[in-house]
Amino acid sequence: MQLRLMAVHAHPDDESSKGAATMARYVREGVQVLVATCTGGERGDVLNPKMDSPEVKENIAEIRKAEMAKAREILGVDQAWLGFVDSGWVENYDPADISGLPEGCFAALPLEVVSEPLVKLIREFKPHVIITYDEEGGYPHPDHIQTHRVSIEAFDAAGDPDRYPDAGQPWQPLKLYYHMGFTKERVIALHEELLAMGQESPYGEWLENWGDRQDKSARITTRVPCGEFFELRDDALRAHATQIDPDGWWFRVPLSVQQKKWPTEDYELVRSLLDTTAPEDDLFAGVRPLADVKG
């Protein structure tokens, strides 16, 4: 029976910068992968100076939909829009205070309202594994933090017939992971390799200013080998042309360096209905023998 993976993301482009190589690998191994995109990215800025124009800004919602279509084709994933409106960036955002958010936006709505569409999608798609953001949203954008909260709520509720009874027949996913991206351990490894090669590192100032900011390296339970799909990941990211400068910071570390020094995408297992042993190298560790039983 086919394995199924769901990735829950805040905006179009997040799926291509967080776990994209993992998804590309699993798709090519026959896993069915569905990206759930919570908002349309309507309040996103144009971050690529080559695309920055009044016309693009005026049509940003439709453009980002078209970019998403290109990215999902490159990755080979399916994708569903949950239909909520982007909340926009809020400096020093406090999730306990939503007074500064636009009315009716994703992060300003009650948890049960924004969770029900995801519960419904989980019950329809029946994923064995879900990946999403940690409690800080990966970074503290209101929509990322809300995506975390919604993912936890939906994972816990989807298998309970008494919760969200109008959202379809219950289905309980087996594992939930947080994507762990720029850990200090990874940044140092890439930084030191570039310096050893006599090349400039984009991480020098970042590491100097790291300070007391928490490093989440120790939280990683699962490292998925997927270096051969980094090029596809980057192609998908470049498809989001309004969001990514192809000559910018994101692409300054050569793929060969990434594939040599850090050829994995990393995760923290935070919910499991299975007995598993860390470290893992597969999001479906423990799931594969049960797939036929779960259907």
11 annotated ligand-binding residue: yes
Q: Cβ distance 30 to 39 under 8 Å?
A: no
160 annotated ligand-binding residue: no
Identify which of 294, 236, 295 has the alpha carbon closest to the alpha carbon of residue 9: 236
Residues in Cβ contact with 278 at an 8 Å cutoff, skipping those fewer than 6 apart: 221, 222, 269
Burial call 91-126: b when 16+ CB within 10 Å, e when fewer: eebeeeebeebbeebbbbbeeeebbbbbbbbbbebb
Q: 56, exposed or middle or buried, with CB in 10 Å at 0-12, 13-18, 19+? A: middle
Q: Cβ distance 250 to 190 under 8 Å?
A: no
134 annotated ligand-binding residue: no
Q: Cβ distance 8 to 131 under 8 Å?
A: yes
d(CA 188, CA 192) in angstroms, rounded, equals 6
- Give the helix, strand, coil percentages of the chain, each rounded to 5: 40, 15, 45
Q: In whole angstroms, how large is the CA radius of gyration of the chain?
A: 19
d(CA 229, CA 236) in angstroms, rounded, equals 11
Instruction: Extract the annotated binding site for Zn(2+).
Output: 11, 14, 144
Instruction: Extract the annotated binding site.
Output: 11, 14, 144
